[in-house]
Amino acid sequence: MSKEGIRSAAEILRKGGALVKDACIKCKGVQVRYQGRLICINCGNESIAEEGRYVSLSSLRDIIVSKINELGDSLKGEDDISRQADIARLLIYYIDILSKIDESSKVEREEMRKRSKERRESEDDNESAK
């Protein structure tokens, strides 16, 4: 585990996060729960915490991409216009979900980087003051 991972976890804990007993599904690392999400302090994997169940955003993303591919294949062979419209609506829905997953992950990573940078600057200021 890197110093950066430990610092990020400590910052999340200071802001009200909590360590959880369940290991990360990707690397078996330690996770913290914060604002409805589980974040692995080892690999950075993010999951959504849902009443005792954890859904990895990356796993959910993989499922959605798979469904998009399946629907694309079924659309190729479909001659019925109404069925094509149904498939197209479902594709749009899945693409919207995919976009939200990607945006959510991006925002969380940016927030963690910002907090880490602020913490480093604060530590540098404290060392300069000594």
Q: Which residues contact 70 (CB under 8 A, 6 or more apart)?
A: none
Amino acid at the residue 88: A
Whole-angstrom Cα distance, residue 92 to residue 87?
9
pLDDT tens, per residue, the chain with 130 residues: 566 767 777 788 888 888 888 788 788 888 888 888 888 888 888 877 765 455 567 777 888 899 999 999 999 999 999 999 999 999 998 998 888 888 877 777 777 778 778 777 877 777 777 6
Where exactly are the structural domains of the chain?
Answer: 3-129
